[in-house]
Amino acid sequence: MRLLFLGDVVGRPGRVAVIEQLPGLRERWRLDCVVVNGENAAGGFGISESICDELIGAGADAVTLGNHSFDQREAMVFIARQPRLVRPANYPPGTPGRGATVIETRDGARVLVVNVMGRVFLDPMDDPFAAVEREISACPLGAAADAVVVDVHAEATSEKQAMGHYLDGRVSLVVGTHTHTPTADHRILPGGTAYMSDAGMCGDYDSVIGMQKHEPIRRMIQKTPGSRWEVATGEGTLSGLAVEIGGNGLATKVAAVRLGPNLEESRPTFWE
């Protein structure tokens, strides 16, 4: 199975990069499954129904979220009727939406997609380790699922690494999101799980985490309130991870994906 995970889509530059490039990549790389984190897709804060539909229409099989899941109030309603949209599973009971979903690929394979949010340096949430355990126990790899993808939306690298090792050998991929900066530690863990601490963002890298530079810099220097952060408007770069998954549901190959300006290009040569 060929799986592509794309990191946080930030505003219009990120959306344009995904919408323009993903259809061609699906065909060129013969992708079986694509998961996209869309929690910053609407002006940098949250996701709207129309944007979610655009990402799915471009080729995303599932869209994951994070700490900005409900910044757009309409998400409180439409998330319930969109089975491909997944918010963190460790939100408190009663939160609208779902923390995991099973998608079926074109050849009939079943992919469990789980989203959890970290607790270090973020709002207090239910235990992400217990939430993941609950979801993969209900749909275990090799029995009810042919592949399992876990998006860990977290600030702390240590928390993401701990999750990777905790799940090693039991899921296909553990990938971090949230920091908007791709890490260089993509690898296959000893038990066969693909791992990357952060997939980076799909957005304008001539920025501060996808936002126009002036206001974040001013706040850090002056430490006073100011204007709202605005999405940077330059050309977007796709950033994520390519994973090839064997018949046992574990990873056999992994490569960083970076396509666009400002970052050194990287692509899965084993699919070219």
Lookup result for tokens 């939306």: 153
Task: Give 61: exposed, middle or buried? Use CB within 10 Å, 0-12, 13-18, 19+.
Answer: buried
Average pLDDT over residues 43-52: 96
- Neighbouring residues of 70: CB distance < 8 A, sequence distance ≥ 6: 46, 76, 87, 96
pLDDT (tens digit, 9 = 90+) per residue, 158-169?
A: 999 999 999 999
Whether the predicted pLDDT of 226 surpasses 90: no
Whether the predicted pLDDT of 30 surpasses 90: yes
Task: Please tell me the distance from the alpha carbon of residue 215 to that of residue 138, in angstroms, as a whole number.
Answer: 45
CATH assignment of the domain containing 71 = 3.60.21.10
Catalytic residue among 68, 153, 178, 186: 68
CB half-sphere exposure, 96, CA atoms < 13 A: 13
Whether the predicted pLDDT of 152 surpasses 90: yes
Residue 214 bears catalytic tag: no
pTM for the model stands at 0.97
Report pLDDT for 49: 97
pLDDT band at 77 (very low <50, low <70, confident <90, very high): very high
Task: Please tell me the distance from the alpha carbon of residue 242 to that of residue 245, in angstroms, as a whole number.
Answer: 10
Whether the predicted pLDDT of 227 surpasses 90: no
Report pLDDT for 185: 98
Which H or E run includes 56? helix 49-58
Structural domain including 96 reads 2-271
Q: Could you give the number of structural domains in the chain?
A: 1
What is the average pLDDT value for the chain, to the nearest integer? 97
Task: Please tell me the distance from the alpha carbon of residue 140 to that of residue 151, in angstroms, as a whole number.
Answer: 16
